[in-house]
Structure 1
Amino acid sequence: MSDHLSALSAAFLSAEDVDPHVSLVIGSFAVLAGPAPSLDELRRLVEQRLALAPRYRQRIRRTALELRPPRWEDDPALDVRLHVRKAEVTTPGERGDVAELVGRAMAARMDRDRPLWDITLCDGLAGGRWGLLCRVHHALADGVSGTALLRVVYDVPHETAATAVGVRRVPRSRLRRAAGAAWVAGRGGSAFLPALVPVHGPSVTGLIGEGRRYAWTGVPLASVREVRRDMHVTVNDVALAAVTGGFRALLVHRGIEPHSRAIRSLVPVSAWDGALVDGPDNRVTLLLADLPVELDDPVERVRAIHDLVDRLRRDREPEAGVVAQQLLSAVPYPLVETATRLALRLPHHHLSTVTTNVPGPQQPLSCLGREVEQMLPYVPIADRIRIGVAMFSYCGELTFGITSDLDVADLDVLVEGIDAAWWSLAGSRTGGGR
């Protein structure tokens, strides 16, 4: 593992430095069968397994005169008791109480003088259940590598160890080609030209405050098996089409025209190339997709999403992102840091949301003998992006975790819209959901 942060990881720290209302932590909330273990039991488990993720024993330190990116160093004063804590869920521990807890906890910033992770045992969920809230700073890991923390907390079947399958990962051979002829020819660079054009008219962006609102909905993956087969599309196509339908519903609810360029999403794409993820790091590139919210027909939406993602990949947009990061690594860090902070301070109207999809284990996890029944994902928001959507699959269920600024009072419209858009493709409802 490199001792210095990558340009991307350092940028996540800069985003927090620029905006005091931003907390760039990613994570998950797991619902487990009861009874809950004691806090001491959980702390002992984490202490025993922390060696599985050495980076989680390290903290960030700025370099002399900040001529190089911050670096990782072992924390000699690491105290697991400061990272593994307990919280009581507000009675009666129903969905709304869990959502309020997740939103409040994820909005809180981490202490950079300590390793950038923590785990909270949440007792008092309805039905005798309990929860584990795991937080990791985005400077430490991305959505795929962040699952390394799962091995510290959960018993993970060997065959479900985290691999970087990501959202249609970028093959290494294509990354090498992009670094050469494709970039020189300008195809990679031109892929980002549409991002220079602001989104059309009013969107869902705006200033963000300190608080966060959280909600989720879950659907069974098996419900779209026939649709995927008949239409020759992927789960990711259907999921992104459902998100598109949700944003269309939100725009209509707000009286905003669902124009074809009204919602532009940053779509992270894993660049781990299918390798075993044996430590936290940020290896992610991106797509910039104008979601087809103008389409009311669900079948047309999923076909449009499939064609859109394929076109962006043919234009080598993900590879262009990787190459851009490689080029930035060759630029003196002070210049990159100054440019990053300046860019983050400038108002923009080029992005509306972020939508990320991380495949999770398809066999049950357990912690201290208790089975994980559900896994809720969380994605942070920043820089005028007031709404973000995280998708995570676990044991045959796909969960959409939606984050918003606390002032977004109509988040339920988006959640219900995503749910309705999924089932408009899947047919009659057979399970899952809100």
Structure 2
Amino acid sequence: MERLSPLDSAFLEAEDSDRHVSLALGAVAVMDGPMPEFDSVGAAIAERVARVERFRQVLQVHRLDLGAPHWAEDPTFDPHRHIHRAALPHGGDDQALFRFVADVMERRLDRDRPLWECWIIEGVAGGRWGLLMKMHHCIADGIATMQMFAGLSDSGSPDTFATDIRASRVTASAPDVRGVVLNPLEWPGALWHVATTLTDTASRSVAGALQIAGGLLNPAAESSLTGPVTTMRRFSAAHVRLRDVERIQSRFDVTLNDVALAAITSSYRDALIRRGEEPQKTSLRTLVPVSVRATDAMNLTDNRVSLMLPLLPVDKDDPLEQLQSVRHRLTRSKKAGQREAVSIFVTAVGALPFALTAWAARALMRLPQRGVVTFATNVPGPRRRLKIMGCRVARILPIPPIALQLRTGIAILSYADSLYFGITADYDAAPDVDELARGIEQAIDRLVALTERP
């Protein structure tokens, strides 16, 4: 019996805490050329999806939370029940595609069935067609989701940029943590066991834990970026060339993540000014997920992430100063051990009875959240262009969910020679989501121009 980890379960609790949110994530691929016959596309997708165990399973929960939810085979599983057909109106331009994506993603998945959907989209502009894959976040994180998405291609699971991340260069190994039965007398012993097995790492991450706690407890500057969300969503996307990003990396000795977050910083600053608000130092505390997935765990369907909580410098106007500040703050977060602190916390939670952690998570997630303003997650995609049903995949747009009073969220995906930013936003709170996307592209253009200066 495969049970959900505390982190996997947290995405269910986050969804349950607010009836306006759907914790599904996904990606939409746009293919060149006319779409093959729908029946042949549907049959091929059904055959490829059925290879993934999690797509054939349903989630089963235990009464009174006496055990973590677990996966079980769906005896009535039929992949064709999850594969849908749609056609875009108005010539199928990006606005029509983005509106369709938002409409699909804002609806919750039915927990009585396997937690995924696939939409085959006709009528994309330029004689193209699309494929939208949607699944619940409790199944997998961004990297695992992209591995499964790439598995739908003609070549199976191709090489991805995920092997470049730091965590992938170590072998996956879970800390030796004892499970605890329902007897509360055994809880202290389990926690002591966790503490003693992780002493060396813990000693390096106390500062990180304090920074994380401070970021969550200290309210961000009031702005239109946070607050309650409705059930409706908007979606938009930005596209930049990887060679431009690499040029900025080389010139200013920064990482791809530094460049992406600096561009996001610039766009959010413009958005605040456009809305008549003054960007403050604490206006944009951002949740930045960090993968802890090793190479030998790339094909596992679960969530393996830690996080950092940097304040992005929207109070700074100069693009280069923004970039340097982002680099400095991320470096400081890494050195302080924020990633390690969160990993230790997740491991310790796993040693407690599920009922205790579920009830605590349920209570905490219903409290107002004012410390974090948005999130930005970097998902490594395929290194080479894919083909689906013989059609070249021109672009892949990542689709993040939003919850916990975060009115916008951004996913960054590297695919072949491009970097794509997928932006999900609350419909009422972010009517300027397209301008947010254009602001990211403009910020990259400004940084590229700066590389030409002496």
TM-score normalised by the chain length of structure 1: 0.93
User: Quick check: 392-401 or 151-160, which moved more?
Assistant: 151-160
Taking the aligned partners of 2:236 and 2:357, their CA distance within structure 1 comes to: 36
Query: Structure 1 CA distance, aligned partners of 2:337 and 2:301?
Result: 26
SS at match of 2:227: coil
**Letter in structure 2 aligned against 1:194:** G
After TM superposition, give the deviation of residue 253 of structure 1 in Å: 1.1
Structure 1 residue 426 displacement after superposition:
1.2
Please list the CA deviations of residues 134-169 of structure 1 after superposition, one character each: whole Å capped at 9, or x if unmatched: 011100010000123224421247651584655876
Name the CA distance, whole Å, in 1 between partners of 2:80 and 2:286. Answer: 39
| Partner of residue 199 from structure 2, selected from 180, 200, 205 | 180
1:32, 1:374 within 8 Å by CA — same for their partners in 2? yes
**Residue 390 (structure 2) pairs with residue 391 (structure 1):** no
The answer to which of 162-171 and 302-311 deviates more is: 162-171
Q: 1:253 aligns with which of 267, 274, 278?
A: 274
Matches within 5 A, 1:107-146: 107-146=106-145
Q: 1:9 aligned to 2:8?
A: yes
* 2:207 maps to amino acid: R
1:346 is displaced (CA, Å) by 1.0
For residues 262-411 of structure 1, the aligned pairs below 5 Å read: 262-407=283-428, 408-411=430-433
Partners of 1:36 and 1:123 within 8 A in 2: yes
Q: 2:265 aligns with which of 244, 254, 263?
A: 244
**One-letter amino acid of the counterpart of residue 399, structure 2:** Y
Q: Secondary structure at the match of 2:301?
A: coil
**Could you tell me which residue of structure 2 aligns to residue 432 of structure 1?**
none
Q: How do residues 103-252 of structure 1 correspond to structure 2 at under 5 angstroms?
A: 103-156=102-155, 160=159, 163=162, 165=164, 179-184=198-203, 186-195=206-215, 196-252=217-273
Change (3 A) 1:113 1:210: same
The CA distance in 1 between the partners of 2:300 and 2:174, in whole Å, is 21
Shift in Å, 1:277: 1.3
Q: Which runs of 5+ in 2 are unaligned?
A: 176-195
Q: Which residue of 1 aligns with 2:89?
A: 90
Paired residues of 1:265 and 1:352 also in contact (CA < 8 A): yes
What letter corresponds to residue 434 of structure 2 in structure 1? D
Residues 104 and 158 of structure 1: is their aligned pair in 2 closer, same or farther, counting only changes over 3 Å? Answer: closer
* RMSD of aligned alpha carbons: 2.3
Q: Deviations over 1:226-276 (max 9, x none)?
A: 321121111111011000001110111122221111111100111103335
SS at match of 2:394: strand
Does the C-alpha gap of structure 1 residues 155 and 364 become closer, same or farther in structure 2, counting only changes over 3 Å? same
The question of whether the paired residues in 2 share the 8 Å contact of 1:9 and 1:139 is answered with yes
Determine if contact 2:171/2:295 at 8 Å carries over to the other structure: no
Helix, strand or coil for the counterpart of 1:136? strand
Cα 1:240–1:386 shift into 2, 3 Å: same
Q: Deviations over 1:324-374 (max 9, x none)?
A: 110111111111111111111111210100101111112111111011001
Residue matched to 2:68: 69
Amino acid of the structure 2 residue aligned with 1:324: F
d(CA) in 2 for partners of 1:49, 1:348? 40
- Pick which of 181-190 and 313-322 moved more: 181-190
Residue aligning to 2:185: none
Aligned residues: 428
List per-residue Cα deviations over 1:36-77 (Å, max 9, x = no partner). 122321232133323532121111001244201100001111
User: Greater shift after overlay, 242-251 or 265-274?
Assistant: 265-274
- The percent of aligned pairs where both chains have the same amino acid is 36
Q: Go from structure 1 to structure 2 and tell me whether the alpha carbon gap of 1:194 and 1:64 turns closer, same or farther (over 3 Å shift).
A: closer
1:333/1:157 CA distance change after superposition, 3 Å: closer
Whole-Å Cα distance in 1 between the matches of residues 117 and 161 of structure 2?
19
* TM-score normalised by the chain length of structure 2: 0.89
Distance in structure 2 (CA, Å) of the matches to 1:352 and 1:159: 35
Distance 2:110 2:50 in 1: 21
Determine if contact 1:56/1:116 at 8 Å carries over to the other structure: yes
Secondary structure of 1:268's match?
strand
- 2:181: which partner in 1? none
1:78 aligned residue: 77
Structure 1: runs of 5+ lacking an equivalent: 430-434
Could you tell me how far 1:89 is from its partner in structure 2? 1.0
Runs of 4+ in 1 over 6 A off after TM superposition: 167-170, 172-178
Q: Is the 8 A contact 1:166 1:358 kept in 2?
A: no
What letter is aligned with 2:298?
Answer: V
1:214 deviation in Å?
A: 0.5
Using the TM superposition, name which of 78-87 and 197-206 deviates more: 197-206
Letter paired with 1:410: D
Task: Tell me the CA shift for residue 180 of structure 1.
Answer: 2.1
Bigger CA drift: 39-48 or 283-292? 39-48
When structure 1 is superposed on structure 2, of 14-23 and 381-390 the one drifting more is: 14-23
